[in-house]
Amino acid sequence: MNTGDYMNVLAIIPARSGSKSVPHKNIRLINGKPMLGYSIEHAKQSRLINRIILSTDSKEYANIGLEYGAEVPFIRPDEYATDSALDIEVFHHCLKYLKEKENYTADIVVQLRPTYPIRDSKDIDSMIQVLIDNSKLDSVRSIAPAKEIPYKMWYKGLDGIITPIMTEIKECYNMPRQQLPMIYYQNACIDVVRGDVILEKYSMSGENIYGYVMEKNYDIDTEEELKKAEEYLSITHGNKRFVFDIDGVIAKISKNNDYSLAEPNESMIKIINKLYEMGNYVVLFTARGYVTGIDWVDTTNDQLNKWGLKYHELHFGKPNADYYIDDKMLSLDQLMEMF
pLDDT reading at 243 higher than 90 = yes
Q: Residue 1 has what pLDDT? A: 44
For 173-297, strand residue ranges (E) read 184-194, 209-213, 241-245, 281-286
Q: DSSP H helical segments within the chain, as ranges?
A: 35-45, 59-68, 87-102, 121-133, 195-199, 223-236, 266-277, 297-307, 332-338
Q: Residue 218 has what pLDDT? A: 76
Q: Do 63 and 124 reside in the same domain of the chain?
A: yes
| Residue 195 counted as domain residue | yes
Q: What pLDDT digit, counting tens, does each position of 110-165 carry?
A: 999 999 999 999 999 999 999 999 999 999 999 999 888 899 999 999 999 999 99
Q: Residue 157 has what pLDDT? A: 96
Q: Do 210 and 110 reside in the same domain of the chain?
A: yes
Q: Do 68 and 195 reside in the same domain of the chain?
A: yes
Neighbouring C-alpha atoms within 13 Å toward the C-beta of 8: 15
Q: Do 266 and 202 reside in the same domain of the chain?
A: no
| Residue 254 counted as domain residue | yes
Q: How far apart are CA 107 and CA 125, in angstroms?
A: 15
DSSP β-bridge partners for residue 13: 54
Q: DSSP H helical segments within 134-241, as ranges?
A: 195-199, 223-236
CATH number of the domain within which 138 lies: 3.90.550.10
pTM: 0.81
Q: Do 101 and 24 reside in the same domain of the chain?
A: yes
pLDDT reading at 327 higher than 70 = no
| Residue 41 counted as domain residue | yes
Q: Do 125 and 172 reside in the same domain of the chain?
A: no
Quote the domain boundaries for residue 153: 147-182
Q: Do 69 and 198 reside in the same domain of the chain?
A: yes
Q: Residue 4 has what pLDDT? A: 47
When pLDDT is cut at 50, 70 and 90, the band that residue 2 belongs to is: low
Q: Residue 224 has what pLDDT? A: 83
| Residue 229 counted as domain residue | no
Please, are residues 250 and 268 in contact by the beta-carbon 8 Å criterion? yes
